Chains A and B, each alone.
Chain A
Amino acid sequence: GAVVSQHPSWVICKSGTSVKIECRSLDFQATTMFWYRQFPKQSLMLMATSNEGSKATYEQGVEKDKFLINHASLTLSTLTVTSAHPEDSSFYICSARSLAGYQETQYFGPGTRLLVL
């Protein structure tokens, strides 16, 4: 149990386009979902925290107009990178925390590698 999926796993896009990444909790309901960014050989940097049905809380330095987060249901959150530029190229990882049963544990998706040309 406690599986989190992400789609797509890889995306290559042209500069200026928008990219949407989906994160789903497959076998549990997630009250809270998190989006992280990871640069090569570095730790995870938290970008934002989202609770179902409410606006995401962004970390300092993360542009909320550039990284749009929607947490429409207890099993789905999306991250849209708007007007992507090469510096947005990174590995994006989502994470979900459960309502019950798996409480106190965050489970992570497999990640999405974004390359902006």
Chain B
Amino acid sequence: AQSVAQPEDQVNVAEGNPLTVKCTYSVSGNPYLFWYVQYPNRGLQFLLKYITGDNLVKGSYGFEAEFNKSQTSFHLKKPSALVSDSALYFCAVRERGNEKLTFGTGTRLTIIP
């Protein structure tokens, strides 16, 4: 079975500071890992993914994430937060061979001006 944990419901960061949104996963085999962002009353927007290759993945809007196999983590990071980054962030995992994405419970990121 595959699962994802986002241990923080809420993360507050001052504008201009670096941000990290945490995600850990559990799969039996090799994972595909994703980050999505959701703005109020909207669907999910794809940010970035890890499939294979470099552990550091760069995505949209200056976000990046690092795949750490030993720690089974895929934390989302950005060097300098913007107020417009305030949103709900979902980490998701799909085990190779499994059709379904499993989502974390989401982390609400608030950037404080």
Contact = CB atoms under 8 A, between A and B. Distances in A.
Given A43-B105, A49-B99, A104-B32, A110 B43 contact: yes
A111 B43 contact: yes
B70 interface: no
B22 interface: no
Which secondary structure dominates chain A's binding surface?
A: strand
Given A107-B46, A108-B44, A111-B43, A43 B32 contact: no
Contact of A104 (B36, B42, B49): B49
Size category of the B interface is 20 to 34
A113 B34 CA distance: 25
Interface of B: 32, 34, 36, 41-46, 49, 51, 90, 94, 99-101, 103-106
A42 B105 contact: yes
Contacts of A44: 44, 90, 103
Contacts of B46: 2, 105-108
Given A104-B32, A108-B43, A111-B43, A43 B51 contact: no
Nearest to A6: B43
A13 interface: no
A84 B12 CA distance: 39
